[in-house]
Amino acid sequence: MSVRILLENYNPEWPELYRREANRISAALDRRVLQIEHAGSTAVPGLAAKPTIDVILVVANSADESVYVPDLEAAGYLLRIREPHWYEHRMFKGPRTDINLHVFSRGCPEIDRMLRFRNWLRSNAADHDLYARTKMDLAQHEWGQVQDYADAKTAVIEEILARARV
């Protein structure tokens, strides 16, 4: 079985879809939301992307699921991934919008990494174009699973992040 990656041209509605989900999450969790951010390619104006909104949610301790999972589930979010070995990451799917809700603990270095990458692509035209070309080239292949496509982007992401750190 193989997977095709379908990229769409940038959709100016993506930021509004993010805001709607951020409001829904904030209403469900109230003060337990320490930070919420639009991440991934849909957060970068002009960048083609899979039409899935990536949302970063920061809570005090993502391993303590009793504090936030029941309320997110009551709001319609479905816990799909639990990765205690990788920053205690949890990932939910949304009830109405195609989102990946990534939950991390306060201070997790992956939060800074994801936001640095997003911000760099928003401000650096050359790396924005490099990443766009890389994604388009890789989307022409068939993959065993979506994660294989994501893994294939790792080298160029690390190259871009190295420049973003300077």
The residue type found at 13 is E
Domains in the chain: boundaries = 3-165
Average pLDDT, the chain: 97
Output the DSSP codes for 11-54.
-TTHHHHHHHHHHHHHHHHGGG--EEEEESGGGSTT--B-S-EE
The answer to whether 118 and 39 have CB atoms below 8 angstroms apart is yes
3-state secondary structure of 117: helix
Question: Where do we find the tokens 């959709």?
Answer: 11
Rounded to whole angstroms, the Cα distance separating 35 from 86 reads: 19
Which helix (DSSP H) or strand (DSSP E) does residue 165 occupy?
A: helix 154-165
Q: DSSP string of 16-28?
A: HHHHHHHHHHHHH
The pLDDT tens digits for 38-82 are: 999 999 999 999 999 999 999 999 999 999 999 999 999 999 999
pLDDT tens, 149-161? 999 999 999 999 9
pTM of the model: 0.95
Residue 1 has pLDDT above 80, yes or no: no
Q: Residues 3-165: name the CATH superfamily.
A: Beta Polymerase, domain 2 (3.30.460.10)
pLDDT per position as a tens digit, 109-129: 999 999 999 999 999 999 999
